[in-house]
A and B are shown apart, each in its own frame.
Chain A
Amino acid sequence: MLQFIIRRTVGAVVTLFLIGAATFFLFVAAPSDYASLACGKDCSAARLEEIREVLGLNLPIAQQFWDFMSGIVMGRDFPTGHCPAPCLGQSFYSGDLVWSTIKDRFPLTLSLTVGAALVFLIVGLGTGMLAAFRRGSSVDKVATGASMVLSSFQIYFLGPIALAIFVYSTGWMEDPKYVPITEDPIGWLVGLSIPMVVMATIFTAQYTRMSRSSLIEQLAEDHVRTARAKGMSQKYVFFRYAWRGSLIPIVTILGIDLSSLLGGAVVTELTFSLQGIGRLAVDGAVNKDLPLTMGVMLVGAFMILLLNILVDIAYAWIDPRVRLS
């Protein structure tokens, strides 16, 4: 198991390096004029040259790449000061260090993701299990029907409705805002509850359906019947034999969902005017703030790799047949 984790971690580091290289060459080495973007419209030749000098764009490409990559590992020095590792450069637009901007914004994204995931996992898997256990009953029909309806909703539809009801017309709640959990756990929960629940609602539907169908499939397996033939109780067989196998597709989708949410929930953040990683990605693209865009991209790639490793570990934990390969 340990060897498995080490092997995957090494693989992830190599992948990250390759993604870093690809990111670098796409954004920096591609024929887009870095400096004139930063300089703006009324730019003199001398000013442009000055910016190039400051940003190190006059250096050979290989040198720039080395500076960038080594900056991530060792940190680097800019004329405006030192940028400690992991240094993802300096935003052209604000002049802030990209890494510290991401660090500022990440807690909100993490909070949203974890909060929503807890809700949709508990409600979604729970409902799915109930529906599978009582297949064909009215509980099953309601759960299946409701999840069909909910899964066709979008955040930009449900979000404004929720805001209109709970904030603007009744005044029961304030506009969603982020309060660090370390400062005020209740404020944190209250501030983010609307976006968390709205996000969770849409995901819940998907997890209900998947958990139900996956369980029904597992319940028809021969080994589940064998367990029943051994005299194990229905509940025992359901949870120990059928449920375990049903987790494989759920873990797969959960990994994909979590990694994309941790890379920034753009629509949710825009809908609720929150400042998370998704908002940064949009800002980076709109302002042509290339270091910021690159930073956000690398963080997103890192999240995908991290979740992939976690998913593989989960597979191995669930299914012993995976451990050998």
Chain B
Amino acid sequence: MTTVTKTEDAPAPTGPEGFLSVRDLSVRFATEDGVVKAVDGLSFDVERGRTLGIVGESGSGKSVTNLTILGLHNPRTTTIDGEIVLDGKELVTATEREMEQLRGNKVAMIFQDPLTALSPYYTVGRQIAEPFIKHTGASKKEGWARAVEMLGKVGIPNPEQRAKDYPHQFSGGMRQRAMIAMALVCDPDLLIADEPTTALDVTVQAQILDLLKDLQQEFGSAIVFITHDLGVIADMADDILVMYAGSAVERGSVDEVLRAPRHPYTWGLLNSMPRLDSDLSAQLSPIPGTPPSLLNPPTGCRFHPRCTFQDRVGGNRCATERPLLAPDRSSACHLTAEQKRTIFIDEIKPRLG
């Protein structure tokens, strides 16, 4: 990370396992109304060169988790427990100075809305060059040259000229490309993309996703990809983590989770996705109810008030006992493995068409 010209020789995509490892993470915010448990007992791993897709509704704790990895929460109002280990380094207890060295350098983030996430006051080139200059100790001139190079790499035509433009002179797709260039300028080992295509139209979205995949090939970064769009996740991710109300409810590879989902919440997500080839008169079937308040989350399984299958679990377990999520392919639900399989095949799959 100290050489200025280090661009092409990407690290080998095969590295130590569990490059990023989050263990039993909980994030609580003190608000005027009380303590919000935004993330509760979350664990996951991402390896180098792999992409983890985190899916879930708004307010499920996806973005909070990733801002926590970067240490961007206000320490005055936030309580963080658990561990986040990146390449052997503990981040929850790291000092602000250590985190500064890490951000934009080893870990970079792409934000959702490229219009508001880029500063209107500085040129695109300068904003891309800034972290490079800070982290590599490059001169302003070298930083600028690197910014131009990165803009070219993300497919901005005429990068020497466009680097001098301000973000408002860029189109939405170009701004997101610039944002990606900014995130990748220091060759991060971990890239967190927080709904990077949500604010873009579909054709531009496809271009941006292709770009991210190409860049991952080139740089071998681990990517955490946050979205609520299952179509995007199918395209991008190797593994999937489904989050609900601050916890993971299901994990597995893309194929496993999308082809044979085991959690009622995941079924609901798949069910509520419109399909181009379905009957036009078919109704969308959203998950009933609303996401729970994280000020006062439901007891037992967080999903049980909205779950249509809880009567198939014996007794009152769903409301009293919290189902746990195992480390590998698993889902946090009290239904038996057999029930999950048969319910999906008999009742859910036919509706998905």
Contact = CB atoms under 8 A, between A and B. Distances in A.
Interface of A: 136, 221-234, 240-241, 244-245, 318-321
Main DSSP-derived SS at the A contact region:
helix
A206 B153 CA distance: 48
B134 interface: yes
B226 to A, nearest CB: 14
B317 interface: no
Contact of B100 (A136, A231, A241, A321): A231
Given A229-B103, A230-B182, A231-B104, A223 B116 contact: yes
Contacts, number: 72
B113 A222 contact: yes
A244 B182 CA distance: 21
A223 B117 contact: yes
A226 B76 contact: no
Given A136-B76, A222-B113, A222-B117, 13 more contacts: A221-B116, A225-B111, A225-B117, A226-B117, A226-B119, A230-B131, A231-B102, A231-B104, A231-B105, A231-B135, A241-B119, A244-B121, A319-B120
Main secondary structure of the interface of B (DSSP, over half): mixed
Interface string B138-168: 0000000000000000000000000000101
Contacts of A223: 116-120
7 contacts: A222-B113, A222-B117, A228-B72, A319-B120, A319-B121, A320-B168, A321-B120
A320 B200 CA distance: 24
The 9 closest A-B pairs by CB, nearest first: A231-B104, A230-B104, A231-B103, A222-B116, A230-B131, A223-B119, A229-B109, A320-B166, A222-B117
A241 B119 CA distance: 7
A23 B170 CA distance: 47
Contacts of A226: 109, 111, 117-119, 179, 182
B96 interface: yes
B97 to A, nearest CB: 9
Nearest to A137: B76
Nearest to A244: B121
A234 B96 contact: yes
User: Considering residues A231, A233, A234, which has the most beta carbons from chain B within 10 angstroms of its beta carbon?
Assistant: A231
B57 interface: no
A229 B70 CA distance: 7
Interface in B71-117: 72, 76, 96, 100-105, 108-109, 111, 113, 116-117
A318 B121 CA distance: 7
Nearest to A135: B76
A235 B100 CA distance: 12
A232 B121 contact: no
Contact of A229 (B96, B104, B120): B104
Interface size class of B (residues with CB under 8 A): 20 to 34
B131 A232 contact: yes
Contacts of B117: 222-223, 225-226
Contacts of B109: 226, 229
Given A318-B121, A319-B120, A320-B121, A225 B135 contact: no
Contact of A231 (B101, B113, B118, B121): B101
Interface in B184-219: none
Nearest to A321: B168
Contacts of B229: none
B142 to A, nearest CB: 17
A283 to B, nearest CB: 47
A60 B263 CA distance: 93
Contacts of A234: 96
A231 B116 CA distance: 18
Q: Which of B108, B116, B117, B168 has the most CB of A within 10 A?
A: B117
A233 B103 CA distance: 10
Given A222-B113, A226-B111, A232 B130 contact: yes
Nearest to B70: A229
A229 B130 contact: no
Contacts of A241: 119, 121
B345 to A, nearest CB: 43
Contacts of A232: 100, 104, 130-131, 134
Contacts of A231: 100-105, 131, 134-135
B72 A225 contact: yes
Nearest to A225: B72
